Structure 1
Amino acid sequence: MASHVEEKRQSGRLFPFIAITETWLKSYYSDAQLPIPGYSVTRCDRSKRNGGGVLLYSLSSLPVSVTESYDDGICQGLCNIYPSAKLLVAVIYRPPDASLSSFSKLLDQVGHAIETHADNDYDLFITGDFNLPHIDWETLEVRSGGTSESNLSAQRLLNFMSTYLLSQMVNVPTRGNNILDMVLCNNNRLVLDVMTEPTDLSDHDMVNVLLSFDPGVLEDAQASYLDASNFRSLDFNRADFSELNKVFSGIDGKELRDSGTFEEFPAKFIKKLQTVCLKNVPKKRPPSGKPKLYNSLRRRKSKLKIHLSAATCAGDAVRIKHLEDEIGLVSYKEAIIHHLEQGEQRAVERIKFNPKYFFSYAKSFSKVKHTISTLLNDNEELVTDRKELANILQKQFSSVYSDLNCPDTSAPTFTVPPILNDETEPVLTPDLIEEAISEIRLDSAPGPDGIPAILLKRCAANLSIPVHLLWSESMSSGIVPTSTSWVTFLRFSRRAVDVRRATTGR
């Protein structure tokens, strides 16, 4: 096994987990006899008879906080909790002759581990050899042909999957024509592909599951305002712009320009802005506490409990019933908010290593436009037939388009505005640039350079000077800086030219 893993690792593949069933191990075999470099071992051996047993290798970088195992001499199973990756991974072995009672106790043990140790935002992976070939995974029904114990165990597994919202990911046979080895998961977005391949180690095929993330290298999601190296970490709503303007007025744009090449000037100027702002603008404060709606519900619930206590002392049964219903309704709303918060937090935590999950979560809140169900025809009658609906829409769309071949069609008449001669270089002044900046909305998104609109507007008088310097030198030299910061400067300059055209007609 170690050589197989090493071979796959050299080919660029890495297995965060390796689950093995029917290990045939006994207690006198130590974990030191089962080493795979870079992995830790968790196992559950069958103690009362030969055969059976399960084993789970996991990357050493994934610490295990809790391990629970089950062995009744028939079925075996183990569950590991990986808090750093928020994962529960379980391995199960159910022999073909296992009774319903033994299998049910094993599933109960796994369910207890889920409910005790795995929060709602944990991902569940349950794999192993179930030996239940008579489940139709297309319809989730138990086919005839098996023993009564096998059929009942199959139905028990389907009920277990329904309880914990699990899906079976293996859709190809793993032994002969039967799917005996399964992978159950509560988040199918984490599984990109499932493949099987024969192996000399067993008469069962080896199941390879390709995950959409690597649990061994998870990184904590970090809000952009916590990045201290950009403008977004600063709270410009609390900035002292009079002080900022004093500092900016002391910056010599020409000296900054002469300190390097023209191409380097935009980036240097942006860096200078960042340095000044990081010293003079307060940092954003991470949000703390509960949302306003949650606090409102909490206060209302507290008041209702005070009224309920008073009504109880007065013995007012009708009032008590009414207040209890109100408290129950508030508690229900709190539970809904808590559930939504957990889902949102889960999506945010996965945005880096599993963006598909985040965007699927966001898409679930989008509004879906419904198809047109009824329209009024020319006789003011409701129409529901699809063909008639299509004809009405076609008639309406056709009525708003002109026929280009119609002899009555004439060219539109309007006054042609004055056009600036391309051969004439526009005369741009810092005042025009400042006027163009003033027309930017305060809540406009920043450009590629990241300069906030509020900073540009509040400090337009000082920032318009380097923009003018850029424009003037660019027009005289014919050189356009390649820095992305130029995009913003050029936009303001062109806007200023538009303002000049409108005011002077040139």
Structure 2
Amino acid sequence: MWCEIRLKDGDKLLLGCIYRSPNSSMGNNQQLNQLINKACTRQNSHLLIVGDFNFPEVDWQSWTCNAGDSHPGWAFLDCLQDNFLYQMVEFCTRFRHGQKPSRLDLILTNDEAMICDVTDSSPLGKSDHVVIHFELICYKDFSSEEFVGRYKYDKGDYKKLNEDLSSVQWEEELTPYSVDVAWNVFTNLLGTAMERNIPKTKPPRASKEGKKWKPLWMSNEAMKKVKKKYHAWKRYSNTRQYQDFVNYKRARNAASKEVRFAKKSFEKKLAADIKKNPKSFWKYVRSKTKTKTGIHDLEKEDGSFAHTDEDKAEILNKFFASVFTDEDTTDVPDPEVKVIGRYSRTLAFQRKIF
């Protein structure tokens, strides 16, 4: 089950809920991995997948599978790593008397900062699975306004803008009105001139379906080896031959090694060039922090919520004004003058002279 939610600035959050039976066939396991791959190719800025995946053999501390090399848990781990997903549950989620506790229920996301405060509570009813609680940090767009671009001031025609503003008869336009009305007239005239002479940014285009997002550190060589590993796995899943599985393991190890090398090399070069090219550093930081932090919606006195920045500022202003202490400035005591060290000796000498 999937649900897509629109966020601010053209971003989108894709929510998915999955249940994998412990008796799943090889075909079902392949379909699960294909479904996750498809969800990641939708090019959503935020991705959240939750559910019961029934992989007790997977060790999430080391991201390995405590089973044979042909176990579907290995392919599942490869699928998550290929799509650069994180697993956020750090405790066992299923408890049954006489059996070892296991971690079957997972929270998968493409942004660690999007999930916080992951806790558990007692199971519902007769279930042997705990209830998982967590907070999802996102920035839902509650406004229904159309996209309003920002001015590209470096591309403006200021000579033509100056000519347009100079041709306005300002006294005739502003004198007949009060200050408030005159201000509105002025801003409208200025805004019209700016619209004519300063271009704006265009609304974000929808991403192409099937085009997978690639990290900034991903090199061409690493991408080739990741694709080679993917094709090796496809071949083995079709033939089930031992030699094809050996080839897959070699491709998997080579891809993991190359990915680690590419990321380490990129970050090392980024750190060495940070003084010469700080923009690249901050671009990398922004790519790692998809979640935007800010002030959450605030509750008003009537029980409704403030969504806009103006409403939030007004609520905070009223609160701070209510707790502010208005001191009496008409009766301020004189501070006691204290001088130490050589300055005290100088002060005593001056008093002695005068």
Common fold: TM-score over 0.5:
no
User: TM-score, length-normalised on structure 2?
Assistant: 0.44
The structure with more radius of gyration: 1
